[in-house]
Structure 1
Amino acid sequence: MATEITEFSYLPAQAEALGVPLPPVERLSLPLADGRTLSALRFGTAAPQVTLLHGAGLNAHTWDTTALALERPLLSIDLAGHGDSSWRGDADYSPRMLAADVAAALETWTSQPQLIVGQSLGGLTGAALAASRPDLVSGLVVVDITPGIDVSAGPATLRAFYAGPTDFATRDELVEKAMSLGFGGTRPETERGVFLNTRVRSDGRVEWKHHFAHLAAQTLAAHDPGTVETPSPRHETGWDDLVGVRAPLTLVRASRGFVAEADAAELQRRIPSARVVVLDATHNVQETAPAALADLIAASADPRSFSHP
């Protein structure tokens, strides 16, 4: 009898490849006041020191390799509309709205201010959280995003991939589609990504977990396909939030990502105390340079590595 694959099935091999022990990892669930549920992964049994926030269209498992390499107790949260967290009926996934959920999670699951590490949409969400709830944040690492960068304006093949269809007969069908478009790296890596970002409905069809794919498909049905983009995390309030952060702030710029030198320079102009670090990676730094990112996070968790503004 074949062993059933679960969301935790991939972790032992990842830990072995890194040469690190496999910590206890569990799925957490938090009922919210409006009836939705927020979900997260907890690595380790001690009080979390670090909280990880993923980008649009991803989920908490995008951080698995980085989390294992970090070897610290931490939380990795599924933002609303992603992973095992509920979709929003109003489809409002702006950073300030998402930050309110994260604040509720930290009030419940943590006992000390957190080093918040957010990639892309998660970075803007982390800024909104740090600006509005400084009591919950000891430091902020923003990964490959600054306000005004439209990460949805990426390759046309990526937009088409998420624009539809949103359900499939099998996960293998989706793996084949992803690989035909050049996504996902090796087949095992693609199979893992597809498994962790999809679910099987009651009718047996496989669908994306994240709401963005479904919203993109709705837009495709209503407009000229040539103009369709997935929802963008670009928000006018982003700079206000970043400037309002009082905790130590680091921007990680991926050398092959979306943040250009000019974007990083603008952040440093607005926030002279901010630190900018360049890593050799693509936009999803946590997947393409996890060890380097883990080293940076570990250093950032040490308050002696910062000078406070």
Structure 2
Amino acid sequence: MDVAIDKSEFSYLPAQAEAMGAPVPSAERMLLTLPDGRQVSGLRFGDGAPRITLLHGAGLNAHTWDTTVLALRQPVLSIDLAGHGDSSWRSDAEYSPRTLAADVAAALDAWTTEPQLVVGQSLGGLTGAALAAARPDLVAELVVVDITPGIDTSAGPAALREFYAGPTDFATRDELVDRAIAFGFGGARADTERGVFLNTRRREDGRIEWKHHFAHLAAQTLAAHHPGDDAAPSALHTTGWDDLAQVAVPVTLVRATAGFVTAADAEEFARRLPEARVVAMQATHNVQETAPAELAALIGSRLASHGL
């Protein structure tokens, strides 16, 4: 296990913490080399062994949880899923939840000492379900944020489709920030600059590119995908309910009122998992960014239910 020494990615934390009235936790980037040579990367926040593991959604990275981490004030592990952040891309472009869960399990084996309260948003939520089904020894409880099996998020809003169908590399980060703002993404420019910085990298030729593999696959994927077409099934749809049915630990679904999970989707979730909790939050799909305090309060309450 190696720890990277580049701390520039954490330079945004003090201002975020000040805005939230929260202390700045210790933070470090973790790297684990897998048997096939790929690397899994993650962020460890706070002192002591983590009891909470956070899994992001498609196209995001471990830093999407930063404000939620600040609100939690707990030791936390936030993992970059394969093909995202500083984790390696897969040459086979296989990013189904069960495949992603295998890498997460390896990271938890290396970086944690006790079963985790696993919180996964969107793709991370179904990855968490696959993890809990395959490795119940690693998961004490599962919180699924704004996703249920069968929801096809691959098409996405029209503006998002057009955004990712465009260029995948840029001369400067400012160029990418301008493009994101032009499409109505990111909010204030300072917030957009932070998001772009944390989700891009500079290539050897000096060009800026997205860190996540999905952006580079998007043009061909979006062009070929037709929502509802059986030839392009959602990976979440084919395995998600089976995985959730095998989860033996407590499960909570967080439904964002302005997100992807509809009231009908939440009802179906409750029907299939009658013992699960369903909680609605006033937030968009990326609940960890738009309602971090509320989400942190929920996570904290679930941690407290375990006497921690």
Q: Equivalent residue for 2:11? A: 9
CA contact (8 A) 2:259 2:285 kept: yes
Question: Is this contact kept in 2: 1:41–1:75, CA < 8 A?
Answer: yes
CA drift of 1:5 comes to 8.8
State the 1:160 CA deviation.
1.2
Letter in 2 for 1:12: P
Aligned ranges 1:165-244 → 2 under 5 Å: 165-219=167-221, 223=223, 234-244=236-246
- Residue 292 of structure 1 aligns with which residue? 294
Matched, 1:111 2:124: no
C-alpha distance in structure 2 between counterparts of 1:57 and 1:73, whole Å:
25
Call closer, same or farther: CA 1:233–1:283 in 2, change over 3 Å: farther
Is the partner of 1:52 in helix, strand or coil? strand
Q: Which residue of structure 1 aligns with residue 247 of structure 2? A: 245
Name the CA shift for 1:123/1:225 in 2 (closer, same or farther; >3 Å). closer
Residue number in structure 1 paired with 2:3: none
Q: Is the aligned partner of 1:150 residue 2:148?
A: no
What does residue 126 of structure 2 align with?
124
Equivalent residue of 1:247, what SS? Answer: coil
C-alpha distance 224-295 of structure 1, shift in aligned 2 (>3 A): closer
User: How far is 1:235 from its partner?
Assistant: 3.3
TM-score under structure 1 length normalisation: 0.93
1:39 aligns with 2:46: no
Q: 1:225 to 1:173 in 2, by over 3 A?
A: farther
The separation in 1 between residues aligned to 2:185 and 2:144, in whole angstroms, is: 24
Offset at residue 271 of structure 1 (A):
0.8
What is the aligned residue count? 299
1:145 and 1:224, CA in 2 relative to 1: closer, same or farther beyond 3 A? closer
What SS is found at the alignment partner of 2:114? coil
Conserved? CA contact 2:7–2:28, under 8 Å: no
AA partner of residue 173 (structure 1): E
Which residue of 1 is the match for residue 270 of structure 2? 268
Which stretch has the larger CA shift, 295-304 or 280-289?
A: 295-304
Aligned-residue identity in percent: 72
Deviating runs (4+, > 4 A) in structure 1?
A: 223-227, 230-233
Q: Report the TM-score when normalising by structure 2.
A: 0.93
Distance 1:33 1:303 in 2: 37
Q: Which ranges in structure 2 are unaligned for 5 or more consecutive residues?
A: 1-5
In the TM superposition, residue 45 of structure 1 has moved relative to its aligned partner by 2.2
Superposed CA deviations along residues 47-86 of structure 1, whole A, max 9, x for unmatched, are: 0000000000000000000011100001000000000000
Is the alpha carbon distance of 1:299 and 1:215 closer, same or farther for their aligned partners in structure 2, counting shifts above 3 Å? same
**What is the DSSP-based 3-state SS (H/G/I as helix, E as strand, rest coil) of the residue aligned with 1:236?**
helix
Query: 1:21 is paired with a residue of what secondary structure?
Result: coil
Cα distance in 2 for partners of 1:209, 1:303 equals 37
**Corresponding residue SS for 2:236:** coil
CA contact (8 A) 2:49 2:113 kept: yes
What is the CA-CA distance between 1:217 and the residue it aligns to? 2.7
- Per-residue displacement from partner, 1:130-180 (whole Å, max 9, x unpaired)? 011111000000000000101123211101111221000000000000001
Aligned pair in 2 of structure 1 residues 237, 231: CA closer, same or farther (>3 Å)?
A: closer
Distance, in Å, in 1 between the alignment partners of 2:306 and 2:11 is 37
Counterpart amino acid of residue 23 in structure 1: P
State the alpha-carbon separation in 2 of the partners of residues 167 and 225 from structure 1.
Answer: 23
Tell me the CA shift for residue 218 of structure 1: 3.9
Q: Provide the alpha-carbon RMSD of the alignment.
A: 2.0
Give the 3-state SS of the residue equivalent to 1:108 in structure 2: helix
